[in-house]
């Protein structure tokens, strides 16, 4: 496996300890940084994120966002997790008026409050816990279980971007991939074996585009 | 479909498991990190530590423990016990906890929950409610604090609603009547709270058998089942609980073979 140096973008929005540890367990040399001069020297870039879209958009408004955009343009591997996925789109219902990175056209929407499962049981928001993905993409196994914690989900304008969906009162987009960019709504760092496998693929030679 | 979660809870005192299970091959049954690893490998969906250390001075031990657990266990970790101020929340999250559970401090200052949810996100803030049936009444429960010693007089259902409104991401609901009895969850209490709020409810207190876990999730409608002694006493493994639930039509994440 070629791992090299993994930079984890620290947007200052909470604890990234478990993300860093998950990459270290996978054999990577992981470094947390908010300094583009540091992370631009890495081989792979991971942008995790938890919390609110507004703070995320603010953190990415300046040179940090420019650096992430430049990284993605350069064709080097990028993994977005949760807000690190949502931030790739234009905007979010969570914070009207705030701008995402706009790498891909699309929006981020909130789960409806009246969602029901097939048995008619009311579904709660946030969507917290383990759920399955449906995917035919090579970095995933179909029907794998991942850990989710979110109230918002990405709606890419282009359907071809979607590589995994998950059912919560209907299917929503739980992962996207295009060229050097892979991003997921769930948390591989909290998803035990399934998460470790995905991180291994990201660090390995298996191309995901 | 979202799975129901099975959450082993470890009572921790001064960095040691109070009642540890003697797993085969475990070097030290009192080490919470090793126990958490075993539970996680066996299919636990989350791990909860409840710190019952009496003194505040020993918090360092807890932070170290949380740090070591978060470094090796790749499932979410919730930590509760003695969380009184913002610094406690921030230190636990920075040590590697995914969620912090708050009990008495929410009662003495409900705005604390609002502030913590705003600062760290609702997903990180669990409000623990210890509820006890009002004597002589079947559908009224009040909230207790200080380990079940103090009756606040607050109606448990109204309190759960208020905490959800204030930004709690989840309610950890313990029946003080059932806790430690192994008679099963208080299903009426669980169902009433589940129906009253729109955030997930973790049922706790009273599990003694596999059927109890099933009842809490099915009849009780809880989103997750927390249990301590059935796991620590070695009566059942997490995998056995999950296989039973799968056989009885409950959606859980199947245990994965290593």
- Known catalytic residue: B11? yes
Out of B3, B170, B200, the one facing A145 most closely (by C-beta) is B3
Nearest-Cα residue of chain B relative to residue A51: B121
Q: What is the pLDDT of residue A1?
A: 46
Tens-digit pLDDT profile for residues A123-167: 988 899 999 999 999 999 999 999 999 999 999 999 999 999 999
What is the tens place of the pLDDT at every residue in A21-71?
Answer: 899 999 999 999 999 998 888 999 999 987 789 989 999 999 999 999 999
CA A30 to chain centre: 17
Average pLDDT taken over every residue of chain A: 92
CA of A183 vs chain B CAs: smallest distance (Å): 19
Question: What domains sit in chain A, N to C, each tagged with a CATH number?
Answer: 5-203 (3.40.50.880)
Residue of A nearest to B95 (CA): A17
Q: Is the dihedral of CA A196, A199, A205, A209 positive or negative?
A: positive
Q: What is the DSSP letter of A90?
A: S
- Quote ipTM for the complex: 0.90
Supply the pLDDT for residue B54.
64
Residues of chain B with pLDDT under 50: none
Please indicate whether residue B64 is annotated as part of the active site. Answer: no
Amino acid B222: pLDDT? 98
- Helices and strands (H and E) in chain A: how many: 6, 12
CA atoms of A61 and A56, how far apart (whole Å)? 9
Place of tokens 């919560």: A168
B129-146 burial, b at 16+ Cβ within 10 Å, e below that, comes to bbbbbeeeeeeebbbbbe
Peptide bond into A126 cis (omega under 30): yes
Contact B200 A191 (CB under 8 A): no
A44 touches chain B (CB under 8 A): no
**Catalytic, out of B45, B51, B88, B130:** B130
- The alpha-carbon gap from A208 to the nearest alpha carbon of chain B, in Å, equals 23
Q: Where do the domains of chain B lie?
A: 5-247
pLDDT 10s digits, A63-113: 999 999 999 999 999 999 999 999 999 999 999 999 999 999 999 999 998
Which of B4, B5, B74, B225 is the best substitution to test chain A (most A C-beta atoms within 10 A)?
A: B74
At B122-162, the pLDDT tens digits run: 889 999 999 999 999 989 999 999 878 899 999 999 999 99
Angle formed at CA B80 by CA B76 and CA B82, multiple of 5 degrees? 155
Out of 3.90.1150.10, 3.30.360.10, 3.20.20.70, 3.30.465.10, select the CATH number for domain B5-247.
Answer: 3.20.20.70
pTM for the predicted model, two decimal places: 0.93
For residue B9, which of B183, B206, B162 has the smallest C-alpha distance?
B206
Q: What is the pLDDT of residues A120-132, one digit of tens each?
A: 888 988 899 999 9
Q: Which residue from B minimizes the CA distance to A15?
A: B94
Copy the structure tokens of residue B87.
Answer: 């610094």
**A107, A100 contact by CB (below 8 A):** no
- Taking CB atoms and an 8 Å limit, are A15 and B93 in contact across chains? yes
């Amino acid at each position: 496996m070629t791992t090299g140096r993994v930079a984890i973008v620290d947007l200052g929005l909470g604890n990234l300890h478990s993300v860093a540890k998950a990459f270290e367990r996978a054999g990577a040399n992981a470094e947390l940084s908010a300094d583009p001069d540091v992370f631009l020297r890495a081989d792979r870039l991971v942008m995790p994120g938890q919390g609110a879209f507004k703070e995320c958009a603010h953190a990415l408004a300046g040179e940090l966002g420019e650096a992430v955009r430049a990284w993605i343009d350069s064709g080097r591997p990028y993994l977005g997790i949760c807000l690190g996925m949502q931030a790739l789109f234009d905007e979010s219902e969570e914070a009207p008026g705030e701008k995402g990175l706009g790498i891909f056209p699309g929006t981020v929407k909130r789960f409806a409050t009246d969602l029901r499962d097939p048995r008619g049981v009311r579904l709660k928001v946030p969507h917290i816990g383990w759920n399955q993905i449906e995917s035919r993409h090579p970095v995933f196994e179909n029907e794998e279980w991942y850990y989710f914690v979110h109230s918002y989900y990405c709606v890419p304008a282009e359907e071809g971007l979607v590589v995994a969906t998950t059912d919560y009162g209907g299917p929503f987009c739980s992962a996207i991939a295009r060229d050097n960019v892979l991003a997921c709504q769930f948390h591989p760092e909290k998803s035990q074996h399934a998460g470790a496998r995905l991180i291994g693929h990201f660090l390995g030679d298996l191309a995901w585009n | 479909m979202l799975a129901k979660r099975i959450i082993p809870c470890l009572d921790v005192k001064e960095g040691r498991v109070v009642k540890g299970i003697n797993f085969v091959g475990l070097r030290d049954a009192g080490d919470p990190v090793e126990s958490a690893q075993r539970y996680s490998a066996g299919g636990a969906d989350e791990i909860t530590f409840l710190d019952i250390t009496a003194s505040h001075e020993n918090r360092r031990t807890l932070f170290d423990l949380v740090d070591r657990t978060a470094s090796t266990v790749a499932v979410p970790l919730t930590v509760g016990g003695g969380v009184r101020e913002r610094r406690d929340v921030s230190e636990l999250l920075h040590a590697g906890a995914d969620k912090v559970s708050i009990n008495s401090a929410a009662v003495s200052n409900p705005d604390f929950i609002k502030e913590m949810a705003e600062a760290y996100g609702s997903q990180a803030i669990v409000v623990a409610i210890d509820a006890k049936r009002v004597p002589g009444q079947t559908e009224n429960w009040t909230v207790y604090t200080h380990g079940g010693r103090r009756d606040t007089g607050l109606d448990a259902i109204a309190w759960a609603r208020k905490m959800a409104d204030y930004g709690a991401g989840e309610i950890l609901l313990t029946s003080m009547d059932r806790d430690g009895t192994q008679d099963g969850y208080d299903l009426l209490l669980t169902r009433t709270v589940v129906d009253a709020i729109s955030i997930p409810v973790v049922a706790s207190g009273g599990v003694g058998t596999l059927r109890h876990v099933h009842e809490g999730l099915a009849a009780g409608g809880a989103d997750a089942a927390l249990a301590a002694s059935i796991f620590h006493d070695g009566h059942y493994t997490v995998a056995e609980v999950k296989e039973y639930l799968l056989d009885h039509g409950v959606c859980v994440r199947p245990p994965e073979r290593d």
